[in-house]
């Protein structure tokens, strides 16, 4: 009788390679598990505790074709992690408000704060309001080797009763300086729950770009140093493929790996045509957010 959840570790040079290897290891060595989101008749999920290390996060090939989305979805998620949807969160004391309970950016940039309905208007409230992003950047500029550069999302006063609490739990940073004086930003990301097939690629891609454009860029601006991305360690307490998605994962990836080369299973993010699609998607995402705002 199996009594231990498997613990799987994967290391890959690039995002696409590490993502694919993690899925394959999960599919091969994960265990069957029930979830609270299963519908009657759904197969059991495949689950594990997963540790993924991406050695060169910005090196191509970055994009794996076997994720449920397109380049515009990646761009939208990157914008979301920069705060583009922070205003979509609900009034916490309005039971009729069915918008999101939180955004990751909101928890990182304004930890401890939430929206309340005061005199009929939504206002930012809470016991405190901490910009963890600024705090981490300032701490790393002052002491690159600190072990205290951490951001968290979990708010027990809200999340223990939240129907869908944050999957992302924490981000931890430390800097290594090489012989040429370049600073390399290393990062650990921890998820309590990570949908391996439906979300994990977008999550990893989004936080790589967040680390580059927000954290590393912020450190570089304040320190005057050259800052690049070192390894990303991705830790998931539950790294799973839902039972309803197993057949799709099998058909779209696992059964095709022996027939299609790795190059044909991936895209280079820095190729001109991908960059053009990625950059052009910004206006589409802005319009999409505006349309949602108009209807809500």
- Angle separating helix axes 15-29 and 200-210, nearest 10 degrees: 150
Tell me yes or no: is domain 7-69+132-295 CATH 3.30.572.10.
yes
Q: What is the pLDDT along the chain (296 residues), one digit of tens a residue?
A: 789 999 999 999 999 999 999 999 999 999 999 998 888 999 999 999 999 999 999 999 999 999 989 999 999 999 999 999 999 998 888 888 888 999 999 999 999 998 877 777 777 888 889 999 999 999 999 999 999 999 999 999 999 988 899 999 999 999 999 999 999 999 999 999 999 999 999 999 999 999 999 999 999 999 999 999 999 999 999 999 999 999 999 999 999 999 999 999 999 999 999 999 999 999 999 999 999 898 87
**pLDDT tens digit sequence for 5-56:** 999 999 999 999 999 999 999 999 999 999 988 889 999 999 999 999 999 9
Q: Which two tokens stand for residue 254?
A: 């696992």
**φ and ψ at 191, to 5 degrees?**
-110, 140
**φ and ψ at 229, to 5 degrees?**
-85, 120
**DSSP string of 152-169?**
E---HHHHTT-SS--SEE
- What does the angle CA 129 – CA 130 – CA 134 come to, to the nearest 5 degrees? 145
Ordered by start, the domain boundaries in the chain are 7-69+132-295
Query: How far is the C-alpha of 124 from the C-alpha of 60, rounded, in Å?
Result: 41
How many CB atoms are closer than 10 A to CB 232?
23
């Amino acid at each position: 009788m199996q009594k231990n959840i498997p613990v799987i570790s994967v290391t890959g040079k690039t995002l696409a390679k590490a993502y694919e290897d993690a899925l394959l290891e999960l599919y091969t060595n994960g265990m069957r598990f029930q979830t609270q989101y299963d519908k009657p008749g759904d197969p059991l999920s495949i689950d594990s505790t997963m540790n993924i290390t991406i050695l060169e996060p910005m090196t191509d090939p970055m994009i794996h074709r076997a994720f449920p989305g397109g380049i515009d979805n990646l761009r939208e998620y990157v914008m979301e992690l920069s705060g583009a949807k922070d205003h979509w969160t609900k009034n916490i004391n309005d039971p009729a408000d069915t918008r999101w309970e939180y955004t990751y950016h909101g928890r990182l940039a304004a930890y401890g704060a939430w929206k309340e309905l005061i005199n009929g208007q939504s206002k930012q409230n809470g016991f405190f309001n901490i910009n963890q992003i600024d705090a981490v950047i300032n701490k790393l500029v002052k002491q690159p080797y600190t072990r205290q550069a951490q951001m968290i999302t979990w708010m027990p006063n809200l999340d223990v009763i939240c129907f869908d609490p944050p999957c992302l739990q924490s981000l931890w940073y430390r800097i290594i300086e090489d012989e040429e004086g370049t600073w390399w930003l290393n990062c650990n990301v921890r998820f309590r729950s990570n949908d391996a097939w439906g979300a994990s690629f977008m999550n990893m891609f989004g936080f790589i770009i967040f680390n580059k454009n927000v954290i590393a860029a912020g450190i570089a601006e304040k320190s005057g140093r050259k800052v690049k991305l070192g390894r990303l360690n991705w830790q998931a307490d539950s790294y799973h493929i839902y039972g309803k998605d197993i057949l799709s994962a099998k058909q779209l990836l696992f059964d095709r790996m022996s027939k299609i080369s790795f190059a044909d299973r991936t895209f280079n993010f820095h190729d001109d045509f991908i960059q053009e699609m990625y950059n052009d998607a910004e206006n589409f995402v802005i319009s999409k957010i505006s349309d949602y705002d108009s209807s809500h």
